[in-house]
Amino acid sequence: MQRAHFQHRLRTNRSASALIILLVVIAIRFILYFIDFSALFPKPDPDTAEGLAPWQEWRLRLMKSACFQRKLRTNQPGFVVLLMLLIIVVVCGLLWLDPFALSGSKDKSLPWNQLKRIVPDDEVVPSPTEQQPKFTTHMRVIAECEEDGQDRGKVRILITPQGRVAGSWFADYFPKQGLQYEVVTSSFKGNIVPEYAYKDDYGEDPSKLSIITKGNFLILETRTKKGTVRKSNGSIFVTGWVDDEYDITGKVTITSDKKTYFEYEFSGKLTETLPFLFDLPTRKR
């Protein structure tokens, strides 16, 4: 599934959302003008005082509700039309703005909602538990990234004996015909998270070790037909799990607004390395 460029989409949504908000305000204003609030919130009726049987109170309330509906049909015909207009505007607005993206900002599984797991540089990263993999030397992996089976570059990850994690993502790909994305710079850093438990449909797996990182990226977007180039920048998050065999699986998540985001999956095997061997260019040549 191909996605439009998120910054372009964000600009489009902002201009459209202003019109939607204006229409909603106008619709609400007319609805408030036509509604008879004395019918919606009537004063206490002596007929409904204590002592009436439940069925009598229910009948009185039903009659009042029916009278209110008749009043709307006879005296306020425009109310129904305006109410339908309001519903249509709100539904169209939610579809345009993507309600999943709006609600996604509160999703605890999204990496920017887990930043408290990143340990500051001046603090010590907790050590893995007995069941989790240990890092006595520097280990790294270079893994291919994919989105719906399509190539999305590669990610380099280094894990140190101190539990620190660093790396870079580099890619040069065509998300759709006539559009090229080239990662100019993209680096991230973070740490292991021993206390974060892995869970799936089969339960917990205490042998898996979590990693979380955050960084920044800069992408060049080229439209090959027009020859136009624009820059796109934002935040990159690399998260994943390392098992007791040092196999790693995870996601590269990039976003510019924490509402619209891209997720690229990767998997590979960590191997021992020297720190300086990881110092490679972040741009694909």
3-class secondary structure, 73? helix
CB of 142 closer than 8 Å to CB of 136: no
Measured on CA atoms in the order 274, 277, 283, 285, is the torsion positive or negative?
negative
Q: What's the distance, Cα to Cα, between the start and end of the chain in Å?
A: 27
Q: What is the pTM of this model?
A: 0.64
Q: Find, among 251, 215, 216, the residue nearest to 231 by Cα.
A: 216
Place of tokens 């270079």: 142
Q: What is the spatial distance between Cα 110 and Cα 101, in angstroms, rounded to a whole number?
A: 11
Q: Which residues of 63-77 are buried (b: 16+ CB within 10 A; e: fewer)?
A: eeeeeeeeebeeebe
pLDDT, position 201: 86
CATH numbers and ranges of domains, the chain: 6-104 (no CATH), 111-278 (2.40.160)
Both tokens assigned to 269: 């095997």
Q: Find, among 203, 266, 258, 182, the residue nearest to 10 by Cα.
A: 258
CB of 3 closer than 8 Å to CB of 262: yes
3-class secondary structure, 35? coil
Q: For 104-117, how does the pLDDT look when each residue is reduced to its tens digit (9 = 90+)?
A: 456 788 999 999 99
**What torsion do the CA atoms of 117, 123, 128, 129 make, to the nearest 10 degrees?**
-90
pLDDT, position 62: 56
Q: What is the CA radius of gyration of the chain?
A: 28
CB of 142 closer than 8 Å to CB of 155: yes
Q: What is the spatial distance between Cα 199 and Cα 277, in angstroms, rounded to a whole number?
A: 34
Q: Find, among 196, 198, 124, the residue nearest to 164 by Cα.
A: 124
Q: Find, among 157, 190, 188, 185, the residue nearest to 171 by Cα.
A: 185
pLDDT, position 169: 97
The low-confidence residues of the chain, meaning pLDDT below 70, are 1-83, 91-106, 276-285
C-alpha dist (Å) from residue 155 to 64, 146, 165, 193, 270: 67, 11, 13, 20, 12
pLDDT, position 109: 85
Place of tokens 């439940």: 54
